[in-house]
Structure 1
Amino acid sequence: MVSNPVHGLPFLPGTSFTDPTKTAFHRSQTLGYRNGYAVARRPTVGIGGDRLQINQLSQAELDELANKRPVLTYGQPKQAPPADFIPAHVAFDKKVLKFDAYFQEDVPMSTEEHYRIRQVSIYYYLEDDSMSVVEPVVENSGIPQGKLIKRHRLTKNDRGDHYHWKDLNRGINITIYGKTFRIVDCDRFTQEFLESQGIELNPPEKMALDPYTELRKQPLRKYVTPSDFDQLKQFLTFDKQVLRFYAIWDDTDSMFGECRTYIIHYYLVDDTVEIREVHERNDGRDPFPLLMNRQHMPKILVENAKNFPQCVLEISDQEVLEWYTAKDFIVGKSLTILGRTFFIYDCDPFTRQYYKEKFGITDLPCIDVSKKEPPPIKQESPIPEDKDRRFIFSYFLATDMISIFEPPVRNSGIIGGKYLGRTRVVKPNSLVDNPDYYGPGDFFIGAVIDVFGHRFVILDVDEYVLKYMESNAAQYSPEALSSVQNHVRKQVDPAPELENKQTKEDPGTKELEALIDTIQKQLKDYSCKDNIREAFQVYDKETSGYVDREKFFKICESFNIPVDDSLVKELIRICSHEEGKINYYNFVRAFSN
């Protein structure tokens, strides 16, 4: 163990020197906390824990010596209260000295300037004796400005000494990292602080100006420009000022067209126009909102410029009579740009204020162009193929149900057969909670029956319908009953003139009626065929009452009619026509109820 060679030496002049073996250099804490409050305390030991060579007396003795006064004639004087110890970081917190200075910077590679004067502010922080140098930011200076030297203690010389506030004054030069700064002035707080500390301040100096900057402030030209419009003035006046308009392009008249929303930007700095498309979420379009790049837009072209190759060359003033300007963009009006007609319906507040100050327009509207739901369209059947289709309606009185049968037609392209099974059909515009179904009174000649969106027109009925309507006339209107009676009477007896002619020329009319009556009596046990007439009408396209013999016997076979019976053969002979057709009107009367 090596003993301390200076231990035990008396503290005498000439014998005090630093200990070369010392390794601890920490300072005592001078700020503590008691019950959550910061409390200043006096250090009891020196750096590294050494004994303090001064203030070895107690605090009470030190206070007594500090307040020791000679005895006056009138007794002992009152003792002054001891001053509290306040650390530097508390006493000088947020107290900063500010000096205005400048430095000269060489510009070696420029023919217009040889040096540049840069103005800075030097800040001295009394809290910890640190300094910083900040250069105010000048717009469009082209020089990286701001904080030149960050806050820290600045070295003054090669020996490691640091700058102190006692070294700063007006009208002096200080060198920081190879740059010489000339301090010309300080603020009022700095002046009062230095004078309170006994420092005599030098008189302030004028801030040096940059010669090249002052040269740039002078007018460059002494003559009037040939053009009557100053583009530089426009650039400096309207830089970063843009008029914004909200417009729509309605292209619904074309195939697959739609109404789309756009934003039109008009740049006042150079009178250029830009069009951007407004996209909505999940609109299915590519995320490229720019419809037209920023450019000058021609309003009226010269006659010879209509065939100008715009896709290859740019349009100049020689091809344009008039360009679009700000006065052409008015809210509530339409304008055509590159073949598209845009309707302007709104603008932003800056644009409204600009039109109010520039053109005196104060009533720019805000038009509502939101999409409104179209009225519901009643669905109809406009298919041409449905015009010649024929159907057989059957209404079941026991259950109020309707069935529809479509007789198959060869080479029609439509599969016939059962069109609708037995079901109750609701009338159109009927309430869901209290539906209204079709009844017997809704069926008559000319009636339109809406079956689940498909409309059917009643063209014909059988004789059973007429008998039922006549026996239940209270359920039908007089017009409906007369329409069915007239229609059936017309089918049985097409015209009175024809009946009179047949009565005179054909004496077998009474024989026909007697034969039909005899067949009905003899074949009364034969099941009634209510749909015989409909089967014949399917093949009778012209509603003439006659069908070919081949089709006639084919239908009789399908209904199991005994055509081999002598009475039936006689009836077929009477109903036969010279052209090879058979009148099925009279034939059906014998086999229907």
Structure 2
Amino acid sequence: MSWNWNSHGLPFLPGYTFRDVTKSAFHRPQTLNYSKGYAQAHRPTVGIGQDPLLSELIQQEINELTFDTPDITYGSSDQSLVNDFIPAYVALDKKVLCYDAYFQETVLFSPEEKCCVRPVVIYYYLEDDSMCIVEPRVENSGIPQGKRIKRQRLPKNERGEHYQWKDLNVGMDLEVYGVKYHITQCDSFTKEFMESEGIVLNDPEPMPVDPYTKRRENPPPSLTKASASDNMHQFLTMDRKVLRFLALWDDTDSLFGETRPVTIQYYLVDDTVEINEVYERNSGRYPFPVMMHRQKLPKKVKPKFESFPSCVLEVSAAEVDEYYSPKDFQVGEKIKLLGRRFLLYDCDAFTKEYYQKNHPDLEVKPIEVPKKTDLLKERKKEIPPFNGFGSAEDSLQNCLSLVPRPAKKNVVKMLENEQKVLRYSARLDSQNPGDEDRQFILSYFLSNDMMSIFEKTTRNSGIIGGKFLKKKRILKPGSTVDNSEFYSPADFAIGATVEVFGHRFVLTDADRYVLKYLEANAGPIPRQTLDSLRQKLSVGTANNQPADQNGHDVAEPSS
């Protein structure tokens, strides 16, 4: 007899419940899923540890006791389609109602105005029924403006109710935190949304004009005489208007001085001047661009104050007869500010327009100044002459950089011309009678354009033969480091003279391989060189001079 540990037919009384000792899973079922990035909860289908739910068992017993027709044969009785549930934060996302409104603020202690009209914009977010009120900023208003009420649900009354979109309409008063906002109009999206919900909006109202702003547009006539300098008018009309000049500071009189580029700003709002130095990368100077802070520069000081040590104390307005004005800054001319000379060579577009409108008698003539790159091009680097140690290319790298790098080599040429050597017989052109019988073999390596000279051993000559010159690139006479020209196969004609470190060698003969190679690559080779080789080698062939399979003479040693 086997016990059914999952049986639910026993009464749920103490002593009638049994624990399944074979059960090992006791986790709860998952009831939270994510669909399209949103969390959605659903009812569990199984119980703890994958046990069937009690409600499902009861429903199965009721279905067995009733004689309903099964759904499999005749279909389900509920044929209605259930629409997918869309939450409000998805359906109403980024849908905002916008209303234009205003409120009146009482002005105290002012005989000219009693109240001012301040326009605002009311935003209603359908997503969560929150609202925010923003006041547009007005330039130079002197009033802190911007967001008046941050986004939140606004209270409607003392009973805890909040404003809904059904409560808003054009022409109504919206009282929030003791301030009454009057709605005048709305945008097109708000109107369409309200009409779709069956709410008829009132006619839009015009925004009232602020009485103080209207009075400022048409000021009353004044019988007082205007002052020579109206600081308030200058502040309102010239705010954020700056004349910008490009100049060169001539500092050549000081030790290690030079000409430095600067910018001069003249602020029309208060007639102050500021000088900033143009910072350049890798200039070797600290990045302190402010050369002179913003201040009024005196042009003429009263005579009784000229001897006063102004370098100790600042010059006050009572000591100055005249300050620098825009008339003193003329493009193309020199100006002296605080003992420093500046050349104004250009200005920006606003400065040119300002002078054409206010000072047409002053002609703006931008001048061209040499750039720093042009000056560096004029100062061409002088490379010292080759000292003879190593190769000329390696010595040149020590002049180009602090850490020399190896000179680049033509790898393709080295691979194509590997083990290709042109050999010539030569004699030493010397005034010494003992050098007449000395014979040399000059080898030219096509892979790296180097030369080597080998001296033949002559018995009883008193001169030890062997390597006369190791592999090295030889410069032609008269060539410099800047315009270096090396010996090439085009220079090796029979009878030609090759000068190597003060020694003059005359070429007397060559291998047949030399003629074969030069005829195959006759492009850069002069015709005279080829004719001299053909004439010499044709005589050697007539004399039946032995040679190996590569065209090299047997009698000539290989270096």
Larger radius of gyration: 1
